Amino acid sequence: MIKIPKLQGGIKMNYMVELKSGKWNVYSPKIDMYVMENVTDDEVKVALAMDMEYEIKLEIIKLFMTFPHGFLTMDGRMIVHKEAVEEYEAWRHETHQRIGFQQEYHSLIDEKLNEMLT
């Protein structure tokens, strides 16, 4: 198996892949199972791009839910927003429980992002 390395820009792929007879199998240690089997390069690329899209959406939701936590003030002090971070982490944990059901998982993230944007 080939471990997909961390990409520039801080996005990390946590998958393992294997090539068999010109087709790819993609394994996710997060859920301890294959998420794609016997697929083409293009199918893997689309799936990985979608995974990256939702990781970015999670980062945006985290920013919205925890801002201004982690930012520095002009005098160099870090702003701490403990309750906001705990609220985000609770939401993230609850949402992560659905990761094995990709459509539902993505829907929960999309709903939260839409809620934050409106």
Q: What's the confidence (pLDDT) of residue 9?
A: 46
| Integer Cα distance of 82 and 64 in angstroms | 14
Q: Which residue segment(s) compose the domain that 100 sits in? A: 2-117
pLDDT at position 12 is 59
Mean pLDDT of the chain: 88
Domain count, the chain: 1
Q: Is the per-residue pLDDT at 72 higher than 90?
A: yes
Calpha distance 79→13 (Å, rounded): 30
This prediction's pTM:
0.76
Q: What is the dihedral of CA 21, 23, 24, 25, to 10 degrees?
A: -70
